[in-house]
A and B are shown apart, each in its own frame.
Chain A
């Protein structure tokens, strides 16, 4: 991998490409500048603030992620799971890369892991009112999983089968179940009952952050952990 790429012959297309891209860049830059002064309709910040009281959370970003545009988030979580399904179908045929941790890494693992779990928990809890939330917390959990993996830790085989897959899918399953709940009460898909909205969103966020963290760590691990099917 350390070899250098051979020098390239220049062709017409090769010479045209920078010109074309410079044109694209210039055009887009002018577009941005034309948008720069706030127009009559500059975003939805006011609408979000106005409707925030009805959502059960006070952080506008969390409200958008899980209430106003919760359906997007649900599908994005499906995209995340899909990537893992794709990776698992691909790497079954690859040589496994097993890590042998050094002492340094082992110590770091012991030091940082509890810290990361605390941070993940805090981010989740804070998400309702301040910056933080399911995705950030899940990201930290995923990073903790990566650190664990680098430290040589592997999921015990008896947990690597359906229990792992249960954790991976739990976020989506709970999200869909909570989304279907209002239909039973004559309301709409994903229209959480106002009285419970805060609690339901926290429930979705907790399972989502677990699932997101597990999925991200599993993506890093690559090959499917061996276990009973």
Chain B
């Protein structure tokens, strides 16, 4: 593959821009599902970049893992989030669905917490 002609330059510039745009969309999207889908596209584009850079070993690994497996993992995690109740990702002042102690508890450690870790008590 010729990596220096003007056409090659155009392809490379386009791929680089596409990569940056997909990353921005994946990270900028407020909807997690959209973010994950853009991220899978990002992984596939990256696999193409590896082909352009003539590193087929990495392109193979990226296509199978970076795009395929990571994407599957992220989608499964999204399904898991729905199941375990992550729908309330907008913090509200009154949130009746869950015990308030977990949130009121002081994890930053500036000294107002009086409760020991739950598991230590349990054992």
Q: Chain A interface (Cβ within 8 Å of chain B)?
A: 1-6, 61, 94-95, 97, 123, 131-133, 135-136, 139-140, 142-143, 146, 150, 216, 219-220, 222
Across the interface, do A1 and B65 meet the contact criterion of CB distance under 8 Å? no
In the bound complex, residues from chain A placing their C-beta under 8 Å from that of B84 are 94-95
In the bound complex, residues from chain B placing their C-beta under 8 Å from that of A146 are 68-69, 72
- Cβ-based interface call for B11 (8 A): no
A–B pairs, 25, beta carbons within 8 Å: A1-B31, A1-B78, A1-B82, A1-B87, A4-B31, A5-B30, A5-B90, A61-B57, A94-B80, A94-B84, A97-B76, A97-B79, A131-B60, A132-B60, A136-B57, A136-B61, A139-B68, A140-B64, A142-B65, A146-B69, A219-B73, A220-B69, A220-B73, A222-B76, A222-B80
In the bound complex, residues from chain B placing their C-beta under 8 Å from that of A94 are 80, 84
- Cβ-based interface call for B24 (8 A): no
Q: Chain B interface (Cβ within 8 Å of chain A)?
A: 30-33, 56-57, 60-61, 64-65, 68-69, 72-73, 76, 78-84, 86-87, 89-90
- Cα-based distance from A14 to B90 in the complex (angstroms): 20
- Cα-based distance from A136 to B65 in the complex (angstroms): 9
Across the interface, do B60 and A136 meet the contact criterion of CB distance under 8 Å? yes
Across the interface, B69 reaches (CB within 8 A) one of A3, A97, A136, A143, namely A143
Across the interface, do B89 and A131 meet the contact criterion of CB distance under 8 Å? no
- Cα-based distance from A1 to B32 in the complex (angstroms): 7
Q: Knowing A1-B32, A139-B69 touch, does A132 contact B57 (C-beta < 8 A)?
A: yes
In the bound complex, residues from chain A placing their C-beta under 8 Å from that of B76 are 97, 220, 222
